[in-house]
Amino acid sequence: MHLRDGAALKTVVPHTAAQFARAIVMPNLRPPITTAEQALAYRARILEAVPHGVPFEPLMTLYLTDRLPPEEITRAARAGVVACKLYPAGATTHSDAGVTDLRHISATLEAMQREGMPLLVHGEVTSPDIDLFDREAVFIERHLVGLRRDFPELKIVLEHITTREAAAYVREAGPLTAATITAHHLLYNRNALFTGGIRPHYYCLPVLKREIHRQALIEAATSGDSAFFLGTDSAPHAAHLKEHASGCAGCYTAHAAIEMYTEVFDAAGALDKLEAFASFHGPDFYGLPRNTGRIQLRRESWLPPERFAFGDGELKPLRAGENLPWRMVSH
Ligand code: DOR
């Protein structure tokens, strides 16, 4: 998920820590987190924003660029950095420093493979000639299949998958390939972007897809297959930058993500599969111990706040002003 930096941390970190005992923290700050030292300094800033007495472990990542040296991977692994994120340059928010060609990062990927450090992938091509809704499926064909073949021992997580093609690929790709699925891609199809007018708070990347894809994601998430696990990609932006002529991509769900996932699993009749999706498959894939704490959710309608303070601006969460049918009552 995206925690951002500076004043934003004061809003986002307490929400996150109230829901999750740890989180994989995306490195797409400006400038991006590209060294072990920066990751540790960012981690310290995050920890300062954790409310007193709340246990929360930020799991740090590095941002791959065309020039990230392989030696930095070794330093990062020693510093406890858990993964590196691949943003194809231009694919999404703050990805301009990202990778322009996978051939530029071969030595770095080899170092990651050696260290057992997972590669987290924003899986979309960036070519303007590829339809926005096809960019994930085309990325799999053009890049992921080759990456998987060339680095057979590298752990790869295809992040925030949105298509039936991605779910099918990951299901067949073997034990070193996994995928995360967001709450918003499980809850909504692309109609949500246009119902009654253009609705910027439903805009994220990869963009919401057709209903057949949402159904494929629900099937994957609730299947019990350990290749699929929770990853919110919660991405806060100030409301005025989303409600804008070229609004920012990102849905903010950190305040109520677990309740949203619960709603989806309940509607699919698969509440018994929720715990493993949320709490077992991810740490098992990363080789981290499972958390031992427990949370309790109750079927109880409640209304989350419509907006939160966010630095100098405000933050409107996904589904602002709507009741949620499940509520976390203890942790
Ligand atoms: O919608 C998104 N927002 N997708 C991403 O990949 C990045 C994120 C952000 O950082 O805002």
| pLDDT at site 164 | 98
Report, as an integer, the average pLDDT of 266-276. 98
Strands (E), 177-278: 177-181, 228-230
Give the model's confidence band at 94: pLDDT under 50 very low, under 70 low, under 90 confident, else very high. Answer: confident
Report, as an integer, the average pLDDT of 39-56. 97
Residue among 69, 107, 71, 100 at smallest CA distance from 86: 100
Give the number of the atom of ligand 1 that is nearest the alpha carbon of residue 250.
1
Q: How far is CA 95 from the centre of its chain?
A: 15
pLDDT of 95 higher than 90: no
Contact between 233 and 182 under an 8 Å Cβ cutoff? The reply is yes
Residues belonging to the active site: 233
Report, as an integer, the average pLDDT of 161-177. 98
Cα(181)–Cα(80) distance, integer angstroms: 25
298: β partners:
327
Digit-coded pLDDT (tens) for 147-157: 999 999 999 99
Contact between 76 and 62 under an 8 Å Cβ cutoff? The reply is yes
Give the number of the atom of ligand 1 that is nearest the alpha carbon of residue 26.
10
pLDDT of 98 higher than 90: yes
Report, as an integer, the average pLDDT of 232-258. 98
The residues lining ligand 1, judged by C-beta closer than 6 Å to any ligand atom, are 2, 28, 92-94, 122, 204-205, 233, 235, 249-250
CA atoms in the 13 A half-sphere facing the CB of 289: 5
For 261-280, give one letter per residue: b (16+ CB within 10 A) or e: bbbbbeebebeebbebbbbe
Ligand 1 center to 299 CA (angstroms): 30
Digit-coded pLDDT (tens) for 286-322: 999 999 999 999 999 999 999 999 999 999 999 999 9
Q: Is 232 exposed, middle or buried (0-12, 13-18, 19+ CB in 10 A)?
A: buried
pLDDT of 208 higher than 90: yes
Contact between 120 and 178 under an 8 Å Cβ cutoff? The reply is no
Which residue out of 4, 188, 233, 241 has the highest number of ligand 1 atoms within 8 Å of its CB and is therefore the one to mutate? 233
57: β partners:
22
pLDDT of 181 higher than 90: yes
Give the number of the atom of ligand 1 that is nearest the alpha carbon of residue 236.
11
Domains parsed from the chain with CATH numbers: 6-330 (3.20.20.140)
State the chain's mean pLDDT as an integer.
97
